[in-house]
Chains A and B, each alone.
Chain A
Amino acid sequence: MPTDPPELKTLSARRPLYQRISLVWLVPLAAVVIAVALAAQNWAARGPLIELLFDEATGITEGSTELRYRDVTVGHVEAVEFEPGLERVVVKVRLNQDIADYVDRDAVFWVVKPEVTTTGVSGLNTVLSGVYIAGVWDADPGGVVLRHEGQTKAPLLPAGDSGLLLTLEAAAGVALTANAPITYKGLEVGRVGTPELSADRQSAIAPAVIFAPYDQLVRSTTRFWDTSGFSFSLGASGAELDFSSLSSLIAGGVSFDTVISGGTPVSDDAPFQVFASQSDARQNVFDAGRGNGVPFSIIFEDNVSGLEVDAPVEVRGLKIGVVTGITGIVDEARFNDSKVRLQISVELNPAELRLASPNAADQAVEEFMAKRVQSGLRARLVSTGLFATGLKVELIDVADAPEAELVRDHDPYPLIPVTESVISDAGASAEGMLSRLGELPIEELMQSAVRFLDTATGLAANTTMLVQDDTVRAIPADVRALLGDVRGVVGSAEIQGLPGQTAQLLTDLNSTVTDLRDLIAQVEEARAIEKLVQTVEAAGDVAASAEASLAGMPGLIESLTETAETARALPLDKLVARVSDVVADVETLLEQPGTRAIPQTLNDTLNEMRLALSELREGGTVAALNDTMASARSAATAIEEATVDLPQISARIDALLKQAAATLAGYDQGSEINRTARSAMTALTRAAAAVESLARALERRPNSLILGR
């Protein structure tokens, strides 16, 4: 039996701990350390959780919606919850640690989402990526504020940007559009915010911003106006469609300009009014703006048509306010009757009164008015002008006014006492003047003038006939003298000595001879032919002496001879006699009282007109043309009809003068008759010219008779 092998002693040696524990345990240890370190680091880097309150959380999703500052992601939405009461949405945003300190009280948050408005498309990138929350804050760390009100829109002037914030107030008829551009000379320099009702619910106000550096353009004297929409006018110059730009037509817009230089720089949130048009804005530049006015009431005894809302309230021609309302009032208790009275409300502008600062308290203006009323200030209605039928309210100091007080407790506004109104009756007097003018015997005057001139023409015709009469005797002697002169000239040493001048002389001679021929044709039957022949022969001698130097002379001499021979046959004596008669007749004509009277009559006419015009002016007839135009027109028509004859008159005078001139041409210049006739003719010419110019003037501007210009 084999013995069992000895039991193998296996001693389990107790090995030290470091040998029994594997080094591999370091790996999980390292993993734990890394994990803990990462977690700790993450925790440390975690920014604060801020709450943003919005009305709605359109498109905001937990976990993925970002908070961006200048388009850099600085946080994520962690949760979207409701406020207790479900009124609003609380969006919890985990901020990045590094930015948290800047998110202080002035931080503004809004949701950026795609928007298509009339002014353009914005937030297009959010169509695909989803909305994000944008935030702005300034660069001064002020400690994180954990709860913020979210805005619905981006702020007009983000914190950190420079610009000028204004408050725009819409005047009547102006619609402010959110996001509308503000332009300055066509340049976009600002933007209008969202309009809302003013505190007193009287107008719409909107914040607006003018970006730097254009904010320097806005001064206290700057005026804003609405450029949206278009204006259409149909007038004498044709139809006119006016709008500043297509975009402002659709989107609206506001423009501004500093109408008068000076002014002071404005502070933030300064109020400005937006006027309906540029002209309104300019007109209003001296106004401190409506709404600053202090209201008063005035009660007039009668209703007077012509007074309108916006009619001016003036003191000695200076506009200090406007009429804001007109109502009728029946107050039996106060007036002891049931008559309807005219109660108007006016607003007096303290700035125009130059009382104190433009913002003088209503109380101060009231005090001032009360004092002035005690010393005689009264209100009255006055016509606005000579032509217009409108009325205005005038405040005037009446020296001996009955005692009156400013009724302070009058409803609705303090009552200013009135005095007698001055409403000119200009229309009636103007009409009377014009009808008197229309009744002036201008036509008869003209007719008689025409008649007179007709007879004058007949007279002139007689005169021409008389020239051919036998009794014209003085002429041969004159002709002889004339020929003697000619001879003297021809025989002068200058002509003989200067052959060069001979040609000129001959030309003159030729024309003289032509004239002579005409004359001689008329005096064919004259008896003094022989003398004429002698003269002509003498002229022929002169011509013969000139023949040596000039070749063309014989022809001339021949014609002269011919002329002389024709002249011989003339009945010159008859002609001379006739001329004498004509002159006598003309003289008698000129001595006739009728002729003398012509200039006088015209003068009188003009004087009458002048008188009428001065009367017109004195009477203030230039007023109320709409009433009196009809009669003025009829008067003008009468004048026009009359003036139709005037050119005729002047034409006849002209013709007469020509005939007279032709007749008198043959006379010696020195003759007495001639002189008289000439002066008469000059007078006639002047008269004719005066009539003609009057006719022309009347034709051109019939109303000049009325206006006196």
Chain B
Amino acid sequence: MMADTPIPTTKEAGLLGCRYCTRVWPSGTKTCGCCGSKLVSRDLQSLQKVWAWWLVALICYVPANLYPMLRTSTLGSVSQDTIVGGAITLAEHGSYFVAGVILLASVVIPILKFLAIAYLAISVARPSTAREGTRHMLFELVEYIGRWSMIDVFVVAILSSLVHLGNFASVEPGPASLTFALTVVFTMISAQSFDSRLIWDQQEFEKDTDRAH
């Protein structure tokens, strides 16, 4: 695949870009003189980090779905609901919109995030047919949307701090709320660990292959 107006990378220009403050330094500079972060042309361990954090997030995601998210006690009767169970209960009571939002934010998006990160990590390691721009879009989307998964955790936090009416009614966070928050945090770290420049390198590799032919 050929780009119409090929944009030179810093690597091709013999330069080195900072991943955090985006300042460009001559090749061979070890630390960014602007923000002090370590400068590497390509983070060779990036994929390892992605996979490691991805795995931790997945481990946390299991109890997040098995354990109750909320403990609601009303006049002595305690009810506990998992994420999916709560959404189903809401749907049974007719609140399809709220149930949909919860399902989207707490189930669909995290799963898609897992899939997206895994896809990106695989695609840079193996030959891929996907377009460079599409993958960048996907990466940006994952980065952007990841934080919204925390909405569930926020709802639990706000409810449990607001509803404290003693024996009449009280809401406490269940064990799943903690692990779910951890899942979100770990997926975000996993996404951040991904060195998007690797996408370009694969592009070059393909270009080289094309040139060779």
Decide if A2 is an interface residue (CB 8 Å cutoff).
no
Closest to B45 in A: A22
The dominant DSSP class at the A interface is helix
Decide if A24 touches B78 in the complex (CB within 8 Å). no
Decide if B77 touches A28 in the complex (CB within 8 Å). no
**CB neighbours of B78 from chain A (8 A):** 64
Residue from the list A28, A31, A32, A129 in contact with B76, Cβ < 8 A? A129
Most interface-central of B44, B56, B75, B193 (chain A CB within 10 A) = B56
Decide if A125 is an interface residue (CB 8 Å cutoff).
yes
**CB neighbours of A24 from chain B (8 A):** 45, 48-49, 52-53, 193
Tell me the count of chain A residues lying within 8 A, CB to CB, of chain B.
Answer: 15
- Bitwise, A106-134 to B at CB < 8 A (1) or not (0) is 00000000000000000001001110000
Decide if A25 is an interface residue (CB 8 Å cutoff).
yes
Decide if B48 touches A35 in the complex (CB within 8 Å). no
The answer to whether A25 and B48 touch (CB under 8 A), given A128-B77, A129-B76, A129-B77, is: yes
**CB neighbours of A25 from chain B (8 A):** 48, 52
The answer to whether A28 and B56 touch (CB under 8 A), given A129-B77, A130-B77, is: yes
Decide if B34 is an interface residue (CB 8 Å cutoff).
no
Decide if B75 touches A28 in the complex (CB within 8 Å). no
Tell me which residues from 60 to 107 in chain B have a Cβ below 8 Å from any Cβ of chain A.
60, 62-63, 75-79
**CB neighbours of A20 from chain B (8 A):** 44-45
Q: Shortest CB–CB separation between residue B165 and chain A, in angstroms?
A: 14
Instruction: State in angstroms the CA–CA spacing of A20 and B46 once bound together.
Output: 11
**CB neighbours of B59 from chain A (8 A):** 28, 31-32, 35
**CB neighbours of B76 from chain A (8 A):** 125, 128-129
Decide if B156 is an interface residue (CB 8 Å cutoff).
no
Closest to B75 in A: A128
Instruction: State in angstroms the CA–CA spacing of A21 and B62 once bound together.
Output: 26
Decide if A187 is an interface residue (CB 8 Å cutoff).
no
Closest to B167 in A: A128
Question: How many residue-residue contacts, CB under 8 A, span A and B?
Answer: 41
Tell me which residues from 1 to 54 in chain A have a Cβ below 8 Å from any Cβ of chain B.
20-22, 24-25, 27-28, 31-32, 35
- Bitwise, A61-73 to B at CB < 8 A (1) or not (0) is 0001000000000
**CB neighbours of A32 from chain B (8 A):** 59
Instruction: State in angstroms the CA–CA spacing of A28 and B50 once bound together.
Output: 11
Q: Shortest CB–CB separation between residue A438 and chain B, in angstroms?
A: 88
Decide if B48 touches A28 in the complex (CB within 8 Å). no
Decide if B55 is an interface residue (CB 8 Å cutoff).
yes
Residue from the list A28, A125, A130 in contact with B55, Cβ < 8 A? A28
Tell me which residues from 122 to 163 in chain B have a Cβ below 8 Å from any Cβ of chain A.
none
**CB neighbours of A128 from chain B (8 A):** 75-77
Closest to B182 in A: A31
**CB neighbours of A28 from chain B (8 A):** 52-53, 55-56, 59
Instruction: State in angstroms the CA–CA spacing of A482 and B55 once bound together.
Output: 158
**CB neighbours of A130 from chain B (8 A):** 77
Most interface-central of A20, A24, A27, A130 (chain B CB within 10 A) = A24
Instruction: State in angstroms the CA–CA spacing of A64 and B72 once bound together.
Output: 13
**CB neighbours of B79 from chain A (8 A):** 64
- Bitwise, B18-53 to A at CB < 8 A (1) or not (0) is 000000000000000000000000001100110011
Q: Shortest CB–CB separation between residue B28 and chain A, in angstroms?
A: 14
Q: Shortest CB–CB separation between residue A402 and chain B, in angstroms?
A: 85
- Bitwise, A330-362 to B at CB < 8 A (1) or not (0) is 000000000000000000000000000000000
Interface size range of chain B in the complex: 10 to 19
Decide if B60 touches A31 in the complex (CB within 8 Å). yes
Decide if A21 touches B48 in the complex (CB within 8 Å). yes
Q: Shortest CB–CB separation between residue A452 and chain B, in angstroms?
A: 105
Instruction: State in angstroms the CA–CA spacing of A306 and B78 once bound together.
Output: 73
**CB neighbours of A35 from chain B (8 A):** 59, 62-63
Q: Shortest CB–CB separation between residue B168 and chain A, in angstroms?
A: 10
Q: Shortest CB–CB separation between residue A61 and chain B, in angstroms?
A: 10
Q: Shortest CB–CB separation between residue A60 and chain B, in angstroms?
A: 14
Decide if A22 touches B52 in the complex (CB within 8 Å). yes
Q: Shortest CB–CB separation between residue A226 and chain B, in angstroms?
A: 40
Residue from the list B44, B45, B53, B75 in contact with A27, Cβ < 8 A? B53
Residue from the list B49, B63, B77 in contact with A22, Cβ < 8 A? B49
**CB neighbours of B56 from chain A (8 A):** 27-28, 31
Instruction: State in angstroms the CA–CA spacing of A130 and B78 once bound together.
Output: 10
Q: Shortest CB–CB separation between residue A696 and chain B, in angstroms?
A: 85
Instruction: State in angstroms the CA–CA spacing of A22 and B77 once bound together.
Output: 49
Q: Shortest CB–CB separation between residue B204 and chain A, in angstroms?
A: 13
**CB neighbours of B52 from chain A (8 A):** 22, 24-25, 27-28
Closest to B73 in A: A129
The answer to whether A22 and B53 touch (CB under 8 A), given A31-B59, A129-B77, is: no
Q: Shortest CB–CB separation between residue A8 and chain B, in angstroms?
A: 11
Closest to A66 in B: B78
Closest to A32 in B: B59
Q: Shortest CB–CB separation between residue B148 and chain A, in angstroms?
A: 24
**CB neighbours of B55 from chain A (8 A):** 28, 31
Instruction: State in angstroms the CA–CA spacing of A35 and B56 once bound together.
Output: 11
Instruction: State in angstroms the CA–CA spacing of A20 and B44 once bound together.
Output: 8
Instruction: State in angstroms the CA–CA spacing of A660 and B78 once bound together.
Output: 115
**CB neighbours of B62 from chain A (8 A):** 35
Instruction: State in angstroms the CA–CA spacing of A25 and B48 once bound together.
Output: 8
Closest to B62 in A: A35
Instruction: State in angstroms the CA–CA spacing of A531 and B19 once bound together.
Output: 181
**CB neighbours of B49 from chain A (8 A):** 22, 24
Instruction: State in angstroms the CA–CA spacing of A31 and B193 once bound together.
Output: 18
**CB neighbours of A64 from chain B (8 A):** 78-79
Q: Shortest CB–CB separation between residue A18 and chain B, in angstroms?
A: 12
Closest to A63 in B: B80
Closest to B47 in A: A22
Q: Shortest CB–CB separation between residue B30 and chain A, in angstroms?
A: 17
Closest to A30 in B: B56
- Bitwise, A127-153 to B at CB < 8 A (1) or not (0) is 011100000000000000000000000
Q: Shortest CB–CB separation between residue A46 and chain B, in angstroms?
A: 16
Instruction: State in angstroms the CA–CA spacing of A129 and B76 once bound together.
Output: 5
Q: Shortest CB–CB separation between residue A39 and chain B, in angstroms?
A: 10
Q: Shortest CB–CB separation between residue B85 and chain A, in angstroms?
A: 11
Q: Shortest CB–CB separation between residue B68 and chain A, in angstroms?
A: 11
Q: Shortest CB–CB separation between residue A223 and chain B, in angstroms?
A: 46
Closest to B49 in A: A24
List 12 A–B pairs whose Cβ atoms lie within 8 Å, in order of A's numbering. A20-B44, A22-B48, A24-B53, A27-B53, A27-B56, A28-B59, A31-B60, A35-B63, A64-B79, A125-B76, A129-B76, A130-B77
Q: List 10 A-B pairs, minimum CB-CB distance, nearest first.
A: A129-B76, A28-B55, A22-B45, A22-B48, A24-B52, A128-B75, A28-B56, A128-B76, A31-B59, A24-B49
Given contacts A24-B45, A64-B78, A130-B77, 20 further A-B contacts (CB under 8 A): A20-B44, A21-B48, A22-B45, A22-B49, A22-B52, A24-B48, A24-B193, A25-B48, A25-B52, A27-B52, A27-B56, A28-B52, A28-B53, A28-B56, A28-B59, A32-B59, A35-B59, A64-B79, A128-B77, A129-B76
Residues of B within 8 A of A (CB): 44-45, 48-49, 52-53, 55-56, 59-60, 62-63, 75-79, 193
Residues of A within 8 A of B (CB): 20-22, 24-25, 27-28, 31-32, 35, 64, 125, 128-130
